[in-house]
Amino acid sequence: MQEFTRRTLLQGGTALAAAGALTGPALLDFAKAWAQASPWKPEKGAKLTVMRWKRFVPAEDDAFNAMVAAFKAATGTEMNVFSESFEDVQPKASVAANTGQGLDLAWGLHTLPQLFPTKVLKMNDVADYLGKKYGGWTDAAAVTCKQGNDWLGIPVATIGGYMTYRKSAMEKAGFKEFPKDFPGFLELCKALKKNNTPAGMALGHASGDANGWLHWMLWGHGAYTVDKNDKVIINSPETVKALEYTKALSDTFIPGTASWNDGSNNKAFLSGELYCTANGISIYVAAKDDPTKKELTEDTYHALYPVGPIGKPTELQLTVPILAFNFTKYPNAAKAFVAFMLEKESYDKWLSGARGYLTHTLNAYDNSPVWTADPKNQVFSQASKRSLPASGIGTPGEKAATAIADFLVVDMFANYCTGRETAKGAIAIAERQLKRIYR
């Protein structure tokens, strides 16, 4: 647990100085000025306990902590910040929601606020303030956090997942640029396999990676789990086509993808076993930070997801909303902190710290320095704009969140791709599970 008190703030001077631009006096000065003019005045003696997911890019954590420290110093709000692994944030937030205590704010995966909408503090005023000031919210981010006209949380960022590939392997396979459509992508993967430089994407219970790319496959073929009225429509010719295409694709993969979790492709790519995968920017960042991987870093590139037969981007990118619980004793402090996080002076530095791992959800940040700092980051800047919400074309909410959490789409593809089920059988299982959830 990271506790920011006056003493630790002073003692942490060395660390803050080391972080340089991220934590310099400019941020503190801005925080002080902001606190004076803020629409939300933290309650006297306010103390916020914040849970977030463990960072994948260390500098992002440094930038976040600097922001917390500046907010604390400017407003006098005590801040307790602790991190949990991605998978543990939601269960722990659920316990807090159920018991009505323990946390004030939780920052987690896209489905979080929709899982317990009656337990969150409505953030309409914060969303309105930020949206007006920074060019409005991206569609997927807004849909992810809204229920009717109410904002259940604030979409802080989107973790973009795109193609990460070795350029030399792609060129050896006979491609000058990364394919932009599904047939071209399949041909590339076939050629990569032939050259013993295979592609591979998770078919296991990987919350981010597997759900991400397999929903892209499903939606790219025009198939959806439910329609806009939440009627289950998974049993369709489009789903069969999606399965057949994905089976052909998975036949080109490196063996073992059925067991992969979120970290497996990172390991395989960085060790030189894997040459093309769908992932966040973390593989590239890790390679860049490792002096022994200079060659791999230079050879690693990113590309947008190819577009399916439907003819437009159909991506599931991971929006990461922050929510405040309605039982918090300090709602103003909570709102002030969330608003402060997304102010330009704080947020740009945070995005830079995340080095492309986090993508903005407010349109005004399209030109943030991080997207031009390294040309290879640029692809990820579009994640929030190209994404559909986790519910696809259906209604966001508890049921859509449950379907994602239960890996229904992932299991359907894995059942067929591993040969456990026929296409008909795999779809029938998914359909039954969806009817169970959407009953």
Residue 203 binds to another protein (criterion: CB under 8 A)? yes
Q: Which residues pair with 316 in a beta bridge?
A: 388
Q: Considering the complex, state which of residue 48 and residue 210 has its C-beta at the smaller distance from another protein.
A: 210
Query: Which range binds another protein by CB under 8 A, 68-76, 257-265, 275-283, 345-353?
Result: 257-265
Residue 204 binds to another protein (criterion: CB under 8 A)? yes
Residue 429 binds to another protein (criterion: CB under 8 A)? yes
CA 321 vs. chain centroid, Å, equals 9
Residue 252 binds to another protein (criterion: CB under 8 A)? no
Helix axis angle for 398-405 and 408-417, nearest 10°, is 30
Q: How many CA atoms lie within 13 A of 422 on its CB side?
A: 2
Q: Which of residues 389-408 bind another protein (CB under 8 A)?
A: 398, 401-402, 405-406
Residue 258 binds to another protein (criterion: CB under 8 A)? yes
79: left (phi over 0), alpha (psi -120 to 50) or beta: beta
CA 43 vs. chain centroid, Å, equals 32
In three-state secondary structure terms, 167 is helix
Site for another protein (CB under 8 A): which residue of 48, 414, 427, 434?
414
Closest CA to 204 of 9, 418, 388: 418
Q: Which two tokens stand for residue 111?
A: 């489905």
Site for another protein (CB under 8 A): which residue of 45, 256, 311, 369?
256
CA–CA separation, 217 and 309 (whole Å): 10
Residue 272 binds to another protein (criterion: CB under 8 A)? no
DSSP 6-38: HHHHHHTHHHHHHTGGGTSHHHHHHHHHHHHH-
Q: Considering the complex, state which of residue 36 and residue 98 has its C-beta at the smaller distance from another protein.
A: 98
Query: Which range binds another protein by CB under 8 A, 21-29, 171-179, 197-205, 345-353?
Result: 197-205
Q: Considering the complex, state which of residue 67 and residue 430 has its C-beta at the smaller distance from another protein.
A: 430
Q: Considering the complex, state which of residue 131 and residue 389 has its C-beta at the smaller distance from another protein.
A: 389
Q: Considering the complex, state which of residue 257 and residue 395 has its C-beta at the smaller distance from another protein.
A: 257
Q: Which two tokens stand for residue 25?
A: 């006096």
Site for another protein (CB under 8 A): which residue of 228, 267, 294, 329?
267
Q: Considering the complex, state which of residue 81 and residue 334 has its C-beta at the smaller distance from another protein.
A: 334
Q: Which of residues 74-133 bind another protein (CB under 8 A)?
A: 87, 90-91, 94, 97-98, 115-119
What angle (nearest 5°) sits at the alpha carbon of residue 396, between those of residues 135 and 103? 80
Number of chain positions touching another protein (CB under 8 A):
43
Q: Over the Cα atoms of the chain, what is R_g?
A: 22
Q: Rounded to 10 degrees, what is the CA torsion of 236, 238, 244, 247?
A: -100
Closest contact distance (angstroms) between CB of 119 and another protein is 4
Closest contact distance (angstroms) between CB of 388 and another protein is 20
Which residues, 6+ apart, have CB-to-CB distance to 351 below 8 Å? 157, 358, 360, 365, 368, 369, 370
CA–CA separation, 150 and 12 (whole Å): 39
Site for another protein (CB under 8 A): which residue of 168, 393, 418, 438?
418
Query: Which range binds another protein by CB under 8 A, 289-297, 315-323, 374-382, 415-423?
Result: 415-423
- Residue carrying the six token digits 């709000």: 77
CA 175 vs. chain centroid, Å, equals 29
Closest contact distance (angstroms) between CB of 437 and another protein is 8
Query: Which range binds another protein by CB under 8 A, 24-32, 64-72, 332-340, 431-439?
Result: 431-439
Site for another protein (CB under 8 A): which residue of 205, 293, 344, 376?
205
Task: Name the residues that contact another protein, by CB under 8 A.
Answer: 87, 90-91, 94, 97-98, 115-119, 203-205, 254-261, 264, 267-268, 271, 273, 398, 401-402, 405-406, 411, 414-415, 418, 420, 429, 432-433, 436-437, 439
